């Protein structure tokens, strides 16, 4: 890569920090079969992440990379005080390799120390490298849709289980005689209360998990739909609020989308903000003031979008109603033209590849579930081969 002038000093400093390590050359002592006979050293297990070592040696300092081989992503031969070592990223991780590791463990440890120092010095280069990659959109966006979806389903299942227990307990109490009721009064008064309390906690967890899920999946849907196509756009949307992410995917001119937007916005304001802003009350009832009517609640400004306090606000969305709305939206989320996206995002856990967004690959795949199935199957195969380093 063409290095900006302001980073030339970083290159010089990193090279100095790495000394006496240099690229292996004709004067480097190395057995003829080093590439096949070398073994992993213990010292090499503590190297920095593989990509930083690669960027340092190959990109910044222009050491020679011998390329890929079976179960090997890259290999850089180095010279340390005249002795040949290999810095390699193999299937089981990055390491320092040498013939007869036991005899050269001390030297390998010294190599590791110098690589760590050089990586620290090269930090400005890595930052520039990251900024360049984002600007060029040659990157993948991690996909945790399935993981976040499973979290949502777990809390929902727990919530439903407690609600069923409450209904069962209420049904059992209706069949009791007055004598049975009185004899078990203490038990009856405590058990339903505790179940109701648990249901409230779990409802909050369900709602929180839902908004975490949608904040993540909206970004990926926007990419797959061709709404955003650059790394900078992804970064900007990731930093935006939930409402902005929703609008990146759905057109509010659509009456169904607008209804869900309004309902979910109110649920988010009352339930999620309730926890985020100190759990005073779902309408922001932090204060109660003294009056002839008794204690009267005062709503906080942040719950109303204004700097004026108030005594009234929108009607509270109760937990069952909130969860019912959320479940309806989850069906709407994966319906119609968004259905193919579910195949990619939830069934495969593949990252979203920005270059495929830019060249129209995703746009073509989003035309039908069959097209997306074909693309996903192909990419999963490529991913598995890459993970196994089966080149």
Mean pLDDT of 239-263: 96
Residue 311, pLDDT above cutoff 50: no
Angle at 37 between CA 32 and CA 43, to 5 degrees: 115
> Which value, in Å, is the radius of gyration of the alpha carbons in the chain?
30
pLDDT category of residue 188 using cuts at 50, 70 and 90? very low
Question: What average pLDDT does the structure give for the chain?
Answer: 86
Closest CA to 57 of 49, 45, 65: 65
Give the per-residue pLDDT at 264: 95
Mean pLDDT of 223-243: 92
pLDDT category of residue 272 using cuts at 50, 70 and 90? low
**Cα-based distances in Å from 138 to 117, 201, 232, 352:** 28, 42, 11, 11
pLDDT category of residue 285 using cuts at 50, 70 and 90? very low
Instruction: Select the more confidently predicted residue: 131 or 176.
Output: 131
Give the per-residue pLDDT at 281: 46
Residue 169, pLDDT above cutoff 80: no
155: left (phi over 0), alpha (psi -120 to 50) or beta: alpha
Residue 179, pLDDT above cutoff 90: no
Residue 334: Cβ within 10 Å count: 16
247 contacts: CB under 8 Å, gap ≥ 6: 261
Instruction: Select the more confidently predicted residue: 129 or 282.
Output: 129
Mean pLDDT of 45-68: 95
Give the per-residue pLDDT at 34: 87
């Amino acid at each position: 890569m063409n290095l900006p002038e302001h980073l030339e000093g970083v290159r010089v400093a990193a090279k100095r920090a790495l000394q006496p390590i240099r690229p292996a050359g004709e004067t480097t002592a190395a057995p003829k079969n080093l590439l096949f006979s070398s073994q992993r050293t213990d010292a090499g297990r503590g190297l920095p992440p593989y990509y930083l070592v690669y960027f340092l040696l190959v990109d910044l300092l222009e050491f020679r990379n011998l390329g890929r081989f079976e179960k090997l992503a890259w290999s850089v031969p180095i010279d340390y005080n005249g002795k040949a070592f290999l810095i390699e990223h193999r299937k089981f991780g990055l390491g320092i390799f040498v013939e007869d590791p036991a005899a050269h463990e001390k030297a390998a440890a010294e190599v590791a120390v110098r690589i760590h120092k050089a990586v620290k010095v090269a930090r400005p280069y890595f930052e520039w490298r990251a900024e360049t990659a984002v600007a060029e959109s040659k990157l993948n966006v991690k996909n945790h849709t399935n993981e976040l979806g499973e979290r949502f389903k777990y809390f929902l299942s727990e919530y439903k289980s407690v609600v069923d227990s409450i209904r069962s307990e209420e049904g059992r109490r209706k069949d009791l005689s007055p004598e049975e009721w009185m004899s078990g009064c203490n038990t009856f008064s405590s058990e339903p209360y505790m179940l109701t309390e648990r249901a409230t906690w779990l409802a909050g967890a369900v709602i929180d998990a839902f908004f975490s899920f949608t904040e993540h999946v909206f970004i990926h849907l926007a990419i797959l739909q061709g709404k955003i196509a650059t790394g900078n756009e992804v970064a900007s949307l990731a930093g935006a609020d939930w409402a902005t992410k929703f609008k990146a995917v759905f057109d509010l001119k659509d009456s169904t989308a607008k209804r869900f937007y309004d309902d979910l916005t109110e649920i988010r304001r009352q339930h999620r903000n309730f926890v985020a802003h100190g759990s005073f009350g779902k309408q922001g009832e932090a204060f109660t003031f003294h009056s002839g009517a008794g204690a009267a609640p005062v709503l906080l400004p942040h719950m109303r979008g204004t700097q004026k306090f108030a005594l009234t606000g929108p009607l509270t969305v109760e937990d069952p109603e909130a969860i019912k709305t959320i479940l309806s939206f989850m069906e709407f989320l994966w319906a119609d033209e968004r259905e193919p996206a579910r195949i990619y995002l939830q069934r495969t856990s593949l990252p979203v590849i920005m270059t495929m967004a830019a060249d129209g690959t995703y746009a073509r795949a989003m035309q039908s579930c069959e097209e997306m199935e074909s693309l996903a199957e192909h990419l999963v195969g490529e991913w598995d081969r890459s993970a196994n380093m089966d080149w």
